[in-house]
Structures are given as structure tokens and as C-alpha cells.
Amino acid sequence: MNTVFLATIFLLAEVAPAPGPEAAPPWWSSFLPMVLIFAVFWFLILRPMNREKSRQASLLSAMKKNDRVLTNSGIYGVVTNVSKESNEVTIRVDESNNVKLRMTLNSIAQVLGDAPTADATSN
């Protein structure tokens, strides 16, 4: 059995082509996977993150008094004061006790629209 095995190996060694000088791959082929990875990273992560950041900035710049807002911590309130210079917003949380919270401008997650007026709620 060993002789048959050795004979097969020698036969295959004679039939196999001799290794020759291989042509070097083009220089750009080593950079192509990295470029593709960066493109996927850009379209899946960086581009949506930049869009969300610009949307949040425009939302905060358009915020005004009497807008209903939702904070990042899940608190609903009505804006009573916006100070963009000091990066601060004051929201009213409870109207019956006049409870107000002062927080940073970036802690606002969503602007839900204008607060309903007293005339609209009496109907």
C-alpha cells in the first residue's frame, strides 16, 4: 500500500506544472478592500449620524416659547424660556404647581409643537 501511495505522489509531482515567477498584483488591489470598507462605513454609520445631528441642530434652533417638548429623559413639558447664548432652556412640567425645570438645550429630544392655548382647551 505504501508503494502505491508513493507512486501516486511521484506521478502527480511529474504532472503538476513547475512553479514559475508569478506576476505581482496591481498596486491598487491591496487598497481596494480598505476603500470598500470605508465606503460601507460612511453610508451605514457616518452619513446617517451627520443627518441626525443637523436635524437636531435645526430643531433646537427653531425652538421657541410655548412649544411642547420631550426631553431625553422622557419628561414632557412646555418651553417657558430659551436662552441660546447660555445653552439653557426652562420648561414647565406641572401647570397646577407651576413646576419648572432648567436644563441644557441639548437635553431636548423632540419638539412636539405649540402648546394648546386656554381657549382651545375650554372647547
Please write the tens of the pLDDT for every residue from 48-72. Answer: 999 999 988 888 888 888 889 999 9
CB burial string 34-65: b at 16+ within 10 A, e below: eeeeeeeeeeeeeeeeeeeeeeeeeebeebee
Query: Residue 123: its pLDDT value, please?
Result: 46
Q: Cα dist. 46→65, 81, 107 in Å?
A: 33, 33, 22
Query: What per-residue confidence (pLDDT) applies to 14?
Result: 60
**Residue whose C-alpha cell is 438645550:** 105
Radius of gyration of the chain (CA): 34
The better pLDDT of the pair 120, 90 is held by 90
Whole-angstrom distance between the N-terminal and C-terminal Cα of the chain?
101
Q: With 50 as the cut, is the pLDDT of residue 119 above it?
A: no
